[in-house]
Amino acid sequence: MSTLTGEQIADEHLTGWTYLLGALQTRIGTPDFATGLAIVDAIGAEAERMDHHPDLDLRYTHVDVRLWSHDARGVTRRDIRLARAISTIAEAAGVTLSHAGVSRLELALDSPDFAAVLPFWRAVLATDHRAGPGFGDELRDPAGTLPTVWFQESGREEPRQRWHPDVWVDPAEVPSRIDAALAAGGTLVSDAAAPHFWVLADGDGNRVCLCTWQGRD
């Protein structure tokens, strides 16, 4: 089954869902833990019926849902169908879905010779090395709990930043996050690659990228 592009996913108009790092995500707000547990149970039953299973994170005030087709390594029509079913479950429970505040974190190691240091990080993090088209060179946690670590070639000039975070958000979240970062003493280093990503820095010059799906298909 082929994967969908960000534009194709946007065309589905899935209310409350966003496309982050190759998966659909939403946050279902709940008034208490029991409601969240009941929603998880309902999602589980529907997932069994469809034979397609989401990643679920149950907390006291919300349930985070992440959908992607592991065999296709991306979002497919199966995920769209399950997303719509989950939206129906939430509506029946009297709760809402939202992507506000939902984000995914990647860590990038900027190195002039990342092939030499990649095995160290693979060993210490106990992750799998993924390489080739669609991956580049990155380390992924088999359990899906640690952030993905990817490697970017850099120069040797000092001073240089070794690590930088990539924070993936819905495109609608970008302006407010940039405004908040600037108000907190940060600077906008570059928007040349927008809407692919924006580069910001804190007062000490440490950089971070705000990333979206736009401009990547």
pTM exceeds cut of 0.85: yes
Give the rounded distance of the alpha carbon of 153 from its chain centre.
22
pLDDT of residue 191: 97
Q: Does domain 6-98 have CATH number 3.40.1280.10?
A: no
CA angle, 21 then 25 then 31, to 5°: 150
Q: Which residues have a Cβ under 8 Å from the Cβ of 28 and sit 6 or more positions away? A: 36, 39, 62, 63, 64, 65, 86, 90, 95, 96, 97
pLDDT of residue 122: 95
Question: Structural domain boundaries of the chain?
Answer: 6-98, 103-211
- The dihedral built from the CA positions of residue 85, 19, 131 and 142, taken in this order, carries a sign that is negative
Q: Which residues have a Cβ under 8 Å from the Cβ of 155 and sit 6 or more positions away? A: 112
Classify domain 103-211 by CATH number: 3.10.180.10
pLDDT of residue 135: 64
User: Tens place of pLDDT for every residue, the chain, 217 residues?
Assistant: 799 999 999 999 999 999 999 999 999 999 999 999 999 999 999 999 999 999 999 999 999 999 999 888 899 999 999 999 999 999 999 999 999 999 999 999 999 988 899 999 999 999 999 887 666 789 999 988 999 999 988 888 888 889 999 999 999 999 999 999 999 999 999 999 999 999 999 999 999 999 999 987 6
Radius of gyration of the chain (CA): 19
pLDDT of residue 216: 78
Q: Which residues have a Cβ under 8 Å from the Cβ of 51 and sit 6 or more positions away? A: none
Q: What is the dihedral of CA 166, 172, 176, 182, to 10 degrees?
A: 40
Tokens representing 159? 């001073």
